[in-house]
Structure 1
Amino acid sequence: MTITQLKYVLAVAQYQNFTKAAEKVFVTQPTLSMQIQKLEEELDVQIFDRSKKPIELTETGKKIVNQARNIVNESDRIQDIVDQEKGFIGGEFKLGVIPTVMPTLLPMFLTNFINKYPKVKLIIEELTTDSIIDSLQDGTIDAAIAATPLNHELIKERVLYYEPFVVYDPRKAATTTGKIKVDDINVDELLLLEDGHCFKDSVLNLCKGSRDTDDDRFMLESGSFETLTKLADEGLGMTLLPYLNTLDLNERKQNNLIHFEEPSPAREVSLIYHRSELKLQIIEALQKVIAGVIKGAIAFQNVQIISPKA
């Protein structure tokens, strides 16, 4: 049994296809298949049910894969120890980012990071919070940027910034002076992101218990803030935006924003990673770069954190 064989098993378990798994681990499909077959023969068990399409793990295979992840992670830790001792920051690093953070935060820090750490091959994927948690647990990503707190026993969190919510309502903005309270929001007129977005969950937690969908003239959920603001412009309701999303609005749309009274409801955005702390030196480098650029954009201190979890 070798570490390489276990990595091949993990690749097939992830992609459920021998050809695609072989591409991801940079070997030919016959080589990968032969190594997995040798492992099955050595263990005298069948890890994969090849009769299923896509390929599935057998019950024994599921247990083997769980243990294989632990073994591969611990073997990777050896290289981590060497890299940290040498002060080396490089190699492949897979980062998940939630959709409501990706378009605002990524342009702020990405150029700085790749210029400062050219030896890091950063692979970024847009994922929902639930997908991020699953991917961190199975090792398919190294870290993620998500709304927290998540209170997950296997995940560590490093807070990057607190981002206030801002009301976008062309109808009320024309007649409102100053700031508003959460209780001033007509939650039955809220235009929301679709299911799967943690920002929607945070908004619903902020307005918990006060939304009555039975009396709605219509219900609408969208995958983008741009769509929500355009619908609000048409007088179809109001929406809440994360603060960074308001910075790129044109002057006309800026006039439709209303800020909350302090403490402003806000989301906590963190860099999260598995408790095994693999590639910690890259995680710390990411945190340092992001902290350096974000402090110039968000200076809010008096906020009330709204969790994305119920």
Structure 2
Amino acid sequence: MTITQLKYVLSVAEYQNFTVAAEHSFVTQPTLSMQIQKLEEELGVKIFNRSKKPIELTEVGKKIVEQAKVIVDESNRILDIVHQQKGFIGGEFKLGIIPTIMPTLLPMFLNSFTKKYPKVKLIIEELTTEEIIRKLADGHIDAAIAATPLENEAIKERPLYYEPFVGLIPQNHRLFNEKVIAPDELEMDDILLLEDGHCFKESVINLCRTFKTDNKKSFQLASGSFDTLIKLTKEGLGMTLLPYLHTLDLNDVDKSHLREFTNPPPAREVSLIYHKSQLKMQLIEALKKTIDGVVRGAISFSDVKIISPLNKK
């Protein structure tokens, strides 16, 4: 039994197809199939039911896969131990970032991190929170930056900053003349939202959940970007809520339409998250230290009310 064989088993279990698993493992399909067959012969059991389409795990195969994940994680930890002992900060590091954080936070730390740690090959993916949780569990990313808390026992969360919500209100809106706004003044049907899959949408819904909805709006819209919501708000089609960092690059005219919330303002907690197996911790610590250094001057809110990013249906 080898670590490589176990990695092949995990790949087939994930993709449910020998050819696709081989492509992702960077080997030929016959090589992968032969190694898995050798493992099955050594163990005297069938791990996969090949008569099913897509391929399914046998009952004993399911148990083997669970143990294989542990063994592969522990084998990766040995390399981590060596790197930490040598003080080496380098190699490939895969980072996921949710779409509502990527455009504001990434430009703040990326240049600083790559200059400070030139031996790190940073691979960044824009992913939804759901995709991040799945990829952390599968070992396809090493860490992520997302809105928390996620209430997931398999994930560790390290808060980076607290980002208040800010209202962007058109001149024809009932709240435009208010200097500050309160959460209980919001009306769900009055707010332009991001489309499904964005946890910021869930946070806004959770903030407004107890408030009235009249369903009198003549249209419904869900956008994939804050830029679209800002343009529609400027056209007077409704108000929207923005994370604080998204308001910094607005022009002076647009900033005159911003309204902060009464204290403590509703906010999202933004965290660096990673799997409980805590692999590549030296890289995770380096990333957190870099982000802490650049964020501290831009955003330092602490007296806030954290709004959950989880769907509370």
Q: Residues 290 and 209 of structure 1: is their aligned pair in 2 closer, same or farther, counting only changes over 3 Å? A: same
2:182 is matched with 181
Q: State the match for 1:269 in structure 2.
A: 270
Q: Residues 104 and 78 from structure 1, CA distance in 2 versus in 1: closer, same or farther, beyond 3 angstroms?
A: same
Instruction: Provide, for residues 157-189 of structure 1, a one-character-per-residue CA deviation record: whole Å limited to 9, x for no partner.
Output: 100000110111122499425222112223321
1:127 aligned onto 2:133 = no
The alpha carbon displacement at 1:303 in A equals 1.5
Aligned residue number for residue 212 of structure 1: 213
Map 1:150-229 to 2 at 5 A: 150-171=150-171, 172=173, 175-212=176-213, 214-229=215-230
| SS of match in other structure, 1:293 | helix
Partner residue, 2:290: 289
1:1-310 matches, within 5 Å, as 1-171=1-171, 172=173, 175-212=176-213, 214-309=215-310, 310=312
Residue by residue over 1:247-273, the C-alpha shift from the partner in whole angstroms, topping out at 9 and shown as x without a partner, is 222333222211112211110000011
Distance 1:186 1:95 in 2: 36
Is the Cα contact below 8 Å between 2:264 and 2:305 reproduced in 1?
yes
> What are the superposed Cα offsets for residues 281-306 of structure 1, whole Å, 9 maximum, x if unpaired?
11101100111111121132322111
| Alpha-carbon spacing, 1:294–1:190, altered in 2? closer, same or farther (3 Å) | same
Percent of matched pairs sharing the same residue: 68
Output the CA distance in 1 between the equivalents of 2:111 and 2:15: 31
Alignment partners' CA distance in 1, 2:294 and 2:15: 36
Greater CA drift, 252-261 or 275-284: 252-261
| Pairwise CA distance, 1:51 | 4.5
SS at match of 1:122: strand
User: Any stretches of 5+ residues in structure 2 without a counterpart?
Assistant: none
Give TM-score, length-normalised by structure 2: 0.91
- Alpha-carbon distance in structure 2 between the residues aligned to 1:165 and 1:193: 14
Q: Where in structure 1 are there 5+ consecutive unaligned residues?
A: none
Residues 248 and 55 (structure 1), Cα distance of their counterparts in 2 relative to 1, 3 Å cut: farther
The worse-fitting range, judged by mean Cα deviation, of 194-203 and 130-139 is 130-139
Separation in 2, partners of 1:38, 1:128 = 38
Label 1:282 to 1:42 Cα distance change in 2 as closer, same or farther (>3 A).
same
Change (3 A) 1:214 1:46: farther
Structure-2 change in CA distance of 1:103 and 1:48 (3 Å)? farther
Contact 2:186 2:211 in 1 (8 A): no
Q: Measure how far apart 1:52 and its partner are.
A: 4.7
2:269 is matched by which residue type in structure 1? E
- In the alignment, the residues of structure 1 paired with residue 134 and residue 152 of structure 2 have an alpha-carbon distance, to the nearest angstrom, of 11
CA distance in 2 between counterparts of 1:125 and 1:152 reads 21
Query: Which deviates further from its counterpart, 211-220 or 35-44?
Result: 211-220
Q: Which amino acid aligns with 2:89?
A: I
* Secondary structure in structure 2 of the residue aligned to 1:170: coil
Q: Deviations over 1:63-90 (max 9, x none)?
A: 3222111110011111111111111111
Count of aligned residue pairs for this structure pair? 310
